[in-house]
Structure 1
Amino acid sequence: MNETMIDIESLCFKYRNEDPDWILDHISLHVEAGEWLAITGHNGSGKSTLAKCLNGLLVPEQGSVKVKGFFTSDEDSLWEIRRSVGMVFQNPDNQFVGTTVRDDVAFGMENHGVPREEMVQRLSESLELVGMSEFQGQEPHRLSGGQKQRVAIAGIVALRPSIIILDEATSMLDPRGKSDVLKVMHELNKTRGITVISITHDLEEASSADRMIVMDEGRIVREGTPIDIFKEPEGLVEMGLDLPFTVKLRQLLIEENGLNLSEKAFTEKELVDELWKLQLNI
């Protein structure tokens, strides 16, 4: 059985006591080591608030959040929790503090007291992992959006967290930048076993996760593998979510062309393979 990295029990949160409704309404969730979990939902569903509860930026009013055995409500544990959880936010410019890429990646390690010799090694290694070694002397604001986000990831990776949270981290990127960042994160997830939690309204991005949860009005309304979630696409549309292109195409092929497609044909590759099989009458 895999180690439980995050354990959430009946989490409730609201920003002001006088508000009648919870922003997060009795959320219970468990995240295992090495898992890629996508948390999706329309704007205002509570997913970004949930992200901030996972490293103690926000503290539950009811219920509990436990990270690697430490409660986020325990102030004495916050340092250990934040050593374990790295967050990459929507706008990378808000995370930069150094005048060069090298300085920026080194900043977090300096704050954590990493010895200089080890810091140099980690800096080189993390920039190489995200494909930004050749840019280490450049000023961060001169980089493209995708490059900036990869530098932000390098700064987190250099701290060697066991969990990385992407809080709408690709929403401001063009398709190429988004693809580059997700490729880096999938590589870190597979080769280093880093647990990834992707907070996103983009179902295309969420479809590559190991598991998805869908939030609506502060509650978890669906949970399962992407295949499980996309079996009933109508409900996702009703919640204001935009279906991935392949899911839309699959629906059209079934409803308008009468094709008998497998329930598992949701990704581009799976759909192409299914169509080839039908064409060849396999």
Structure 2
Amino acid sequence: MVRIIEVGGLSYRYNEDQPWVLRDLSFSVNKGEWLAIIGHNGSGKSTLAKCLNGLILPQKGTVHIGGFDTKNEKTIWDVRRMVGMVFQNPDNQFVGATVRDDVAFGMENNGIPREEMIRRLPEALRFVKMEQFAGSEPHRLSGGQKQRVAIAGIIALQPLIVILDEATSMLDPEGRRDMIRTMRYLNRERRLTVLSITHDLSEAVYADRMIVMNQGEIVREGTPRDIFQSPEFLEKIGLDLPFAVKLGHVLYEKGVPLTDAALSQEELVNELWTLRSNM
């Protein structure tokens, strides 16, 4: 496995007279992995996201992206070209008058040749099923459509890493499912490294691995199935368990012989159907 992100002893605070927002964080991410970083509001997740793309620099410790140290002024733009960010509110990312202009702006800003921009732009919009909205004003789109445009802008830049910073929190259930499907495809088919920073555990279940943060520290690390074996701990630090996980634990306690902890509604339905078929 090739490590694409390495964080060692990372600590950060916004003012010297305030507590540390991040405290001695150390972890790594493999190329092509989907890592979910979860925690309640105020646990330090968004500050960590800014450290990972060089918007803020470690006050203690190091952050290496693709082998580059974010503290190195000579290579910081190499780091930022490797990392694409999709934020909670896509309106804050739009700068173009039309969807086409907005996707093109990021490429132009990164110095991509015009011929290459012309090739990439329709491909990126087609990938997120937004080609018919190329001439539309971004602010007139629905929440789910806006996020797809934001993703198109990232796809066009072809980064190695995409960070979703609470990117699904303002979407309705269908928009959330659509975005997760898109990111799962990018992760699996294009081997894009995905970091999902969220307090929504129903989104985190699709990750390969999870890190749980609380008060600026990493308090748990493992696969989603491992993490959800301790539902009481997650609830204790203010995280709301996915419905399927809650129901699965209740059914197990009531004597239903479930063979494994279902993480999604689809998994739970399939397991119950299999159980019924074998009765």
Q: Against the structure 1 CA distance between its residues 191 and 277, is the aligned structure 2 distance closer, same or farther, given a 3 Å change threshold?
A: closer
TM-score scaled by length of structure 2: 0.97
Q: What residue is the counterpart of 2:79 in the other structure?
A: 81
Equivalent-residue separation in structure 2 for 1:267 and 1:168 (angstroms) = 19
1:168-189, Cα deviation, whole Å (9 max, x unpaired): 0110111111111111111111
SS of the equivalent of 2:74 reads helix
Equivalent-residue separation in structure 1 for 2:16 and 2:96 (angstroms) = 38
Q: Is the 8 A contact 1:85 1:163 kept in 2?
A: yes
Question: Could you list the runs of 5+ residues in structure 1 that have no partner in the other structure?
Answer: none
1:145-184, Cα deviation, whole Å (9 max, x unpaired): 1101110111111111000000001101111111111111
Q: What residue is the counterpart of 1:145 in the other structure?
A: 143
Identity of aligned residues (%): 62
Confirm whether residue 271 of structure 1 aligns to residue 268 of structure 2. yes
Q: What residue is the counterpart of 1:252 in the other structure?
A: 250
Equivalent-residue separation in structure 1 for 2:156 and 2:263 (angstroms) = 35
SS of the equivalent of 1:103 reads helix
Q: Tell which deviates more after alignment, 232-241 or 264-273.
A: 264-273
Q: Is the 8 A contact 1:86 1:163 kept in 2?
A: yes
Confirm whether residue 232 of structure 1 aligns to residue 230 of structure 2. yes
Confirm whether residue 34 of structure 1 aligns to residue 35 of structure 2. no
Q: Against the structure 1 CA distance between its residues 281 and 191, is the aligned structure 2 distance closer, same or farther, given a 3 Å change threshold?
A: closer
Once the two structures are TM-superposed, the CA of residue 269 in structure 1 deviates from its matched residue by 3.0
Equivalent-residue separation in structure 1 for 2:273 and 2:130 (angstroms) = 39
SS of the equivalent of 2:157 reads coil
Counterpart residue type for residue 17 of structure 2: E
Q: Is the 8 A contact 1:34 1:194 kept in 2?
A: yes
Residues 13-92 of structure 1 aligned to structure 2 (within 5 Å): 13-19=12-18, 21-92=19-90
Q: Is the 8 A contact 1:231 1:263 kept in 2?
A: no
Equivalent-residue separation in structure 2 for 1:118 and 1:278 (angstroms) = 53
TM-score scaled by length of structure 1: 0.96
SS of the equivalent of 1:43 reads coil
Q: What residue is the counterpart of 1:223 in the other structure?
A: 221
Counterpart residue type for residue 268 of structure 2: L
SS of the equivalent of 1:123 reads helix
2:240 to 242, 252, 255: 242
SS of the equivalent of 2:96 reads coil
Residues 47-196 of structure 1 aligned to structure 2 (within 5 Å): 47-196=45-194
SS of the equivalent of 1:75 reads coil
